[in-house]
Structure 1
Amino acid sequence: MRLHQHLYLRIWLALTAVILLMTLLLGWLWRIQWEHERAQRPGGVVVLRDASGQEIGRAEARRQRVPGQGVEFQVPMADGQMLTIQLPRPHRPPKKPPGIDPYRIIQSFWGFTALLLLIAVAVALGAYPVVRRLTQRLEALQQGVERWGTGQLDTRLPVQGQDEVAFLAERFNAAADRVQALLASHKALLANASHELRSPLARIRMGMELLRSGASDAQARERQLQAMARNIAELDELIDEILLASRLDLTDPTDPGALGTPEDVDVVGLAAEECARVDATLDVAGDAPQALLRGYPRLLRRLLRNLLENARRHAGPQATEPVRCTVSVRPAAAGGGWRWEITVADRGPGVPDAFKERVFEPFFRLPGQSEREGGVGLGLALVRAIARRHRGDVRCTDRPGGGACFVVELMSV
């Protein structure tokens, strides 16, 4: 992780750099003052003059400190004699106890205070651009969240940099996209469900009116009752799938227990039961009979039933061969474990390439099949939602020789 991706490190480094710069500046000023004081000290040449001011001797002084006697200089004279000059040790008054000299205390206090103030001003000036940039981005984040909270769901935050604030803005945008998509999905679900509910209700109402009129014979009344029963079953299926779709949308995909407790599911057994309901052929490959998939039995049964019902409906009664379901297991590419593959193929008209992804949208039907009996347009959308809850997905391909083929991949939750 690079340093510029952490905001606290950037602030800390900025403050540290300012303090280091101030330390170097103070050291440089102290060195200049020391060199100036050193230049003011007397030189190392000793000059001797007589009473008339005439120079009688000059030489480099050889300074020697005598313990207890001060400093002694030995200067050679012009006549060859050695003249010794001794400077007595200066008398120093006894040191005062600390805290007695008020002037020194005041001078030291104000000097230290001035130094602290200088460092504080330098740190404030150095840290201001960093802090101001941070606060500006936080203010933009606050304003965006407030606009989004007032109902402007298309509000998105600018992502600047690669630190924590940028990551927060990016996560907010992702959450806002998901919320907006969920609301749009729920609105579409409500509108489509309202439309789909009208058709069976209208047919039930018409059948009740015909029965109430009493103009039909016994066989006609029986047909009307059977049609009403089919419409009621269609209503029940539609309501069941709408409730399941809403539940899958509202639960957290990252929470394995949101849909109940996962169990070890015998996928081959479930597939055999569902294939028997629609007279489909079941093929089992590899070690699938001995393997178990940890997931949600009710959802997996719904996935198999929707795929098989969809294949039977689109194959039609004139199909040359039954619907074929294949279950296989293979090792997962990454992360260990097993990946299940369920393939359901039919000999119907197939799905055009332009609609191979759209068939998984809620309430979508292929052109020309909107009035086909059976199916409410939610089956394949639920298949994809259930597959993704089991860490997989579904795709639509062409079956060799004609027809459609739906391939589902699943993993244990």
Structure 2
Amino acid sequence: MKPANPIARKLYLRIWLAVAGSVALLSLLVGWAWHQAEEQRDRQPPTPREVVVRNAAGDVIGSAEAQPRRVPGQGFEFVVTLEDGEVLTLQMPPRNRTAAGGRPRRGSDHPLAWLRPPYGFWWTLGLAGLGVMIGVFPVARRLTQRLEGLQRGVQRWGEGDLSVRLPEGGHDEVADLSRRFNAAAERVQSLMASQAALLQSQKSLLANASHELRSPLARIRMAIELVGAQGSPTARAEIQRNIAELDQLVDEILLASRLDAREADMGTVEPVDLIGLVAEESARVGAALEVPDGSGDIIVPGVAKLLRRAVRNLLENAARHGSAGQVSAGLSLADGHAELHVDDRGPGVPEAQRERIFEPFYRLPGASERDGGVGLGLALVRSIAVRHGGSAHCDNRPGGGARFTLRLPVVKSTPEQSQNVRKNTLFLFCVMDSREQGSVAALRAV
């Protein structure tokens, strides 16, 4: 069975090659040592031997202590001098079996002749190495199977399945690694469960507190209305302003907690005419809106009330920190997304603070409570954008001030869908009356 994935195949190949290479290296070292020993033995003179020569009757006709001499390919030779002075040369051929009938068998005809010198030893080493490599196969395969299972478990755990546990059978390093991984995974899962429970408790507490705060606010507002004209107009206006700010804060906290809960139902997703929505909110704060000619309808899928809140927060933030009448908005299309740019003429945002201002309850250094807001508006803008698959960021405006960009994905709509959206859209325009230096809001259905 082959490993199931490229990583396992590569690991198996490395283990097998490491073992095979080790066996091959050991075989070469043993062969070299054996060859050196053979050469050393060949260089040393053979040990003298006593040679006895007998006749056919078994009588000794000569004996002597002879020095054997090696003859390449013919074995050993002994020189023996008989009693009568005759000199005999005796040959001892290489050890070889004889064929049937007593005839010597030729070396090349023997089945194991290829194992004899000068190459027989190398053939033997090669066969031994091949046998070891074949025997290593099941061992390496079993090890790679365990490592492959370890890799699959770690991959699943990294993908978010924190309940994955690895088999701990055995007493080797892989089993020890599995036990350590399981212990760490158990701790991480416990910590994540505790954190999730704590976050859920905080969200529930925040949502409940925000909901309960609405009742005393309503009673305070009713009491102020009952007081009527008896109180100081200035004090009454100040109280009403504080109540409005507190009511807005509760509303933003409640919305933020619901946006953080991904499972919360925020409303029905439907096609929203972004041009009409931005036009209404721009007229509400007196901002100039610029839409490129020929852009047509800009339809985005989303929850209309959430998109309205995001646009309103951007425009109100620009009006709060920019000069009066110096807030402008622009819509454009780029790469399948609608981009809303809101510019102000304020002091701008330092580069180091451009991400932090989207954090909940964060305000720029030096901002006072009288400037309005508690630092939730921009955090809601980004949360709503992310909820709709978009983004929000801050840059410097060319010429001074800040530019906030809300980026949302658009959908291609049919003419019938565009007509249906347009029928239900109200545009709000500001018409300046030069005689009274005021503004009149007019609603027009398109």
TM-score (norm 2): 0.50
Q: Conserved in 2, the CA contact under 8 Å of 1:4 and 1:10?
A: no
Match of 2:325 among 321, 345, 349: 321
What is the alpha-carbon distance in structure 1 between the residues aligned to residue 270 and residue 225 of structure 2? 48
1:298 and 1:211 map into 2 onto residues whose CA distance is 29
Q: Does residue 387 in structure 1 map to residue 397 in structure 2?
A: no
Q: Which amino acid aligns with 2:359?
A: E
Look up the match of 1:368: 366
Aligned to 1:372, what secondary structure does the other structure show? helix
- 1:308 offset after TM fit, Å? 0.6
Counterpart-to-counterpart distance in 2, 1:326 and 1:262: 24
- Written as runs of structure 1 = structure 2, the 5 A alignment for 1:5-404 is 9=9, 43=99, 125-127=139-141, 129-130=143-144, 131=146, 134-151=174-191, 218-220=230-232, 222-251=233-262, 259-315=266-322, 319=323, 321-330=325-334, 332=335, 338-404=336-402
The structural deviation recorded for 1:227 is: 2.7
Q: Deviations over 1:134-165 (max 9, x none)?
A: 544432332112222444x6xxxxxxxxxxxx
Q: CA deviation at 1:268?
A: 0.2
CA contact (8 A) 2:295 2:332 kept: yes
Q: Contact (CA 8 Å) 1:282, 1:326: kept in 2 or not?
A: yes
Pick closer, same or farther for the CA change 1:311–1:320 going to 2, 3 Å: closer
**One-letter amino acid of the counterpart of residue 147, structure 1:** R
Could you state the TM-score of these two structures normalised by the residue count of structure 1? Answer: 0.53
The range that moved more, 121-130 or 305-314, is 121-130
Change (3 A) 1:301 1:8: same
CA shift digits 1:79-133 (9 cap, x unpaired): xxxxxxxxxxxxxxxxxxxxxxxxxxxxxxxxxxxxxxx9xx9677445644355
Deviation at 1:367, TM superposition (A): 1.8
- Alpha-carbon spacing, 1:287–1:145, altered in 2? closer, same or farther (3 Å): farther
Q: Is residue 298–residue 410 contact of structure 2 (8 Å, CA) maintained in 1?
A: no
Q: 1:240/1:219 Cα in 2 relative to 1: closer, same or farther (>3 Å)? A: closer
Contact kept? 1:189, 1:362, Cα under 8 Å: no
**Aligned-partner Cα distance in 1 for 2:293–2:389:** 21
Q: Offset of 1:411 from its aligned partner?
A: 1.2
**CA-to-partner distance for each residue in 1:20-59, whole Å, 9 max, x for gaps?**
9xxxxxxxxxxxxxxxxxxx99726677xxxxxxxxxx99
For residues 354 and 306 of structure 1, the distance between their equivalents in structure 2, rounded to whole angstroms, comes to 22
CA 1:402 to 1:219, structure 2 compared with 1: closer, same or farther past 3 Å? Answer: farther
1:325 is aligned with what amino acid?
A: A
2:235 is aligned with what amino acid? Q
Q: Please give the root-mean-square deviation of Cα atoms over the aligned residues, in Å.
A: 5.0
Residue 4 to residue 224, structure 1, CA distance change in 2 (3 Å): farther
> Does the 8 A contact of 2:97 with 2:105 survive in 1?
no
**SS at the partner of 1:408?**
strand
- 1:12 shift after superposition: 7.7
Q: The residue matched to 2:370 in structure 1 has which SS?
A: coil
Cα drift, residue 369 of structure 1:
1.5
For residues 140 and 285 of structure 1, what CA distance do their matches in structure 2 show?
A: 61
Q: State whether residues 11 and 127 of structure 1, in contact with CA within 8 Å, keep that contact through their aligned partners in structure 2.
A: no
- Pick closer, same or farther for the CA change 1:320–1:312 going to 2, 3 Å: closer
2: CA distance between counterparts of 1:223 and 1:305? 28
Letter of the structure 1 residue corresponding to residue 260 of structure 2: D
Partner of 1:31: none
DSSP-derived class of the 1:290 partner: coil
Q: Which digits, 9 at most, give the CA deviation of each residue in 1:47-73, with x for residues without a partner?
A: 7xxxxxxxxxx999xxxxxxxxxxxxx
Tell me, yes or no, if the aligned pair for 1:182 and 1:249 is still in contact at 8 Å: no
Cα distance in structure 2, aligned partners of 1:134 and 1:362: 46
Q: 1:350 to 1:189 in 2, by over 3 A?
A: farther
* AA aligned opposite 2:237: Q
After superposition, the Cα gap between the structure-2 partners of 1:137 and 1:397, relative to the gap in structure 1 and judged at 3 Å, is: same
* Aligned-partner Cα distance in 2 for 1:190–1:366: 28
* Cα distance in 1 between the residues matched to 2:201 and 2:98: 94
- The aligned amino acid for 2:331 is V
| Gaps in structure 1 of 5+ consecutive residues | 21-39, 48-57, 61-117, 154-175, 333-337
Percent identity between matched residues is 40
Alpha-carbon distance between aligned partners in 2 of 1:223 and 1:149, rounded to the nearest angstrom:
57
Cα deviation 1:342-383 (Å, max 9, x = unaligned): 000112222222322211111011122231253121110111
Matched AA of 1:353: E
The 2-side partners of 1:288 and 1:182 are apart by 48
